[in-house]
């Protein structure tokens, strides 16, 4: 499996080369920051705390989102990215090259997306188009230029969820469940992907062993949950050690939510956030300049246009009556994810304020793979070009117009 993933053809090398050149050019415009350290990196600080034998940071960093509990300061995000930063923290100390590391995460994500497309028979050039669309045609474009804590979590989550999709296509069941469990340690809402995984394998087994009882087919997947159970147990032990609560990663102890009358999650947030995500517009000012919100989102399918491609594909499936159980499960998982996001007090800030929604892109990409979107239509090509163009602009705008 690993050997297959890293077996590159000429097109994939060209894609990687051009993306590296792209990162060099963008970082040059940003001030020569490719090998620099983003000081927004609480994951490196957490890794250094672990190396000292501590779970808390021991002091406040006012520019980071830190949970305050029992007179100590804790990283308020799930811990997996700190595991990946451990060797770098050991070598570089506090000044890890996190801008470079996060770019590498995105390059690997593009490779995985390319491999997924090749698995369904896409030509190399089309596979490269979809890979760049998935990684650079969304808010991940800007996030992959800065190694800050928020962006590390979402970039690594993207990598692990795309790896889950690839492993699904290769029928590596145990490993696909493990990579998804690891993704939950980056972004907890990735847990909604588990039912999709389960139903995908159930339907695959049912097509071959159609005379077998459904319950028996379901029970056959139990061994796949051993890895996620161990990983989930490790998360819960770590949470309990820090906060005395196995399901508390720390966000509830952020001052922002402690001081909020309705806390971190509340039903009153749902409708305003749904409006922001689906209907809050981007406008063109009288001077020809774009006007868009920096926080709490606008139309996420404009910021991340691969959702438009998915909407079109979804409508076509409904009209042709080609909706399958797995595709329906993906739709439900995306809907649940959106509702969970909208029950949260904020939708995130920076880069159009819609960056949380990229966490659903691997599921949407799986839908396109199941629909055999190996050859992009002319509409797909136009939307993909627009997506990359808009998000490259967004990456530069964050430095030259907004920060």
Question: Per-domain residue ranges for the chain?
Answer: 2-402
Across the strands, what pairs with 73?
68
**CA–CA separation, 352 and 215 (whole Å):** 45
Model confidence at 4: pLDDT above 80: no
Model confidence at 290: pLDDT above 90: no
Per-residue pLDDT tens over the stretch 140-178: 999 999 999 999 999 999 999 999 999 999 999 999 999
Q: Return the higher-pLDDT residue of 291 and 341.
A: 341
**CA–CA separation, 99 and 120 (whole Å):** 33
**CA–CA separation, 258 and 89 (whole Å):** 31
**CA–CA separation, 39 and 149 (whole Å):** 9
Model confidence at 2: pLDDT above 70: no
Model confidence at 312: pLDDT above 90: yes
CB burial of residue 207 (10 Å; 0-12, 13-18, 19+): exposed
* Mean pLDDT within 235-251: 94
- The sign of the dihedral angle between the CA atoms of 391, 394, 399, 403 is negative
52-56, 291-295, 332-336, 363-367: the lowest-pLDDT one:
291-295
Q: Which of 185, 186, 163 has its CA nearest to residue 175?
A: 163
Model confidence at 186: pLDDT above 60: yes
Return mean pLDDT, the chain: 93
What per-residue confidence (pLDDT) applies to 215? 86
What per-residue confidence (pLDDT) applies to 248? 93
Q: Which regions of 20-152 does DSSP assign to beta strands (E)?
A: 66-69, 72-75
**CA–CA separation, 193 and 326 (whole Å):** 11
**CA–CA separation, 171 and 120 (whole Å):** 13
What is the C-alpha end-to-end distance of the chain, expressed in Å? 43
CA dihedral 8, 13, 19, 25 (to 10 degrees): 150
* Mean pLDDT within 370-392: 96
What per-residue confidence (pLDDT) applies to 392? 94
What per-residue confidence (pLDDT) applies to 314? 97
Question: Do 327 and 373 touch, CB atoms closer than 8 A?
Answer: no
Host H or E run for residue 291: strand 290-291
What per-residue confidence (pLDDT) applies to 90? 96
Percent of the chain with pLDDT over 70: 98
* Mean pLDDT within 4-20: 87
To the nearest 10 degrees (0 to 180), the angle between helices 378-397 and 306-320 is 150
Q: Which regions of 25-71 does DSSP assign to beta strands (E)?
A: 66-69
DSSP string, 151-183: HHHHHHHHHHHHHHHHHHHTT-HHHHHHHHHHH
**CA–CA separation, 185 and 202 (whole Å):** 25
Model confidence at 216: pLDDT above 90: no
Per-residue pLDDT tens over the stretch 205-214: 998 887 788 8
Question: Do 260 and 345 touch, CB atoms closer than 8 A?
Answer: yes
pTM for the model: 0.95
Question: Do 396 and 142 touch, CB atoms closer than 8 A?
Answer: no
Report the b/e string of 159-185 with b at 16+ CB within 10 A. bbbbbbbbbbbbebbebbbbbbbbbbb
What per-residue confidence (pLDDT) applies to 5? 61
**CA–CA separation, 98 and 103 (whole Å):** 8
Q: Return the higher-pLDDT residue of 316 and 348.
A: 316
């Amino acid at each position: 499996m690993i050997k297959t993933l890293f077996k590159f053809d000429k097109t994939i090398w060209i894609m990687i080369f051009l993306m590296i050149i792209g990162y060099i050019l963008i970082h040059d415009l940003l001030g020569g920051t490719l090998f620099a350290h983003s000081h927004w990196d609480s994951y490196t600080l957490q890794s250094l705390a672990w190396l000292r034998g501590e779970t808390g940071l021991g002091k406040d960093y006012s520019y980071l989102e830190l949970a305050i509990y029992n007179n100590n300061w804790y990283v308020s995000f799930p811990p997996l990215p700190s595991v990946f930063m451990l060797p770098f923290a050991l070598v570089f100390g506090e000044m890890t090259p996190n801008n470079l590391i996060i770019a590498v995460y995105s390059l690997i994500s593009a490779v995985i997306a390319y491999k997924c497309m090749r698995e369904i028979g896409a030509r190399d050039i089309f596979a490269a188009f979809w890979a760049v669309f998935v990684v650079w045609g969304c808010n991940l474009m800007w996030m992959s230029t800065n190694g800050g804590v928020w962006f590390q979590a979402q970039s690594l989550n993207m990598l692990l969820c795309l790896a889950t999709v690839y492993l699904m296509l290769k029928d590596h069941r145990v490993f696909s469940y493990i990579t998804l469990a690891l993704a939950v340690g980056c972004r907890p809402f990735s847990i909604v992907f588990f039912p999709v995984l389960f139903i995908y394998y159930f339907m695959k087994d049912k097509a071959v062993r159609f005379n077998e009882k459904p319950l028996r087919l379901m029970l056959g997947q139990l061994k796949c949950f051993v890895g996620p159970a161990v990983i989930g147990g490790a998360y819960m032990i770590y949470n309990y050690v820090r906060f005395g609560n196995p399901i508390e990663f720390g966000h509830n102890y952020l001052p922002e939510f402690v001081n909020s009358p309705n806390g971190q999650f509340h039903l009153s947030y749902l409708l305003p956030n749904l409006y922001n995500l689906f209907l809050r517009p981007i406008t063109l000012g009288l001077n020809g300049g774009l006007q868009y919100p920096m926080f709490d989102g606008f139309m996420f399918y404009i910021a991340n246009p691969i959702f438009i491609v998915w909407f079109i594909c979804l409508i076509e499936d409904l009209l042709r009556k080609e909706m399958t159980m797995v595709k329906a499960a993906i739709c439900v998982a995306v809907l649940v994810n959106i509702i969970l996001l909208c029950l949260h007090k904020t939708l995130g800030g920076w880069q159009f304020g819609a960056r949380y929604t990229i966490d659903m892109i691997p599921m949407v990409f799986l839908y396109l793979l199941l629909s055999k979107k190996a050859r992009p239509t002319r509409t797909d090509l136009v939307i993909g070009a627009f997506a990359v163009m808009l998000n490259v602009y967004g990456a530069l705008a964050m430095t030259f117009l907004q920060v």
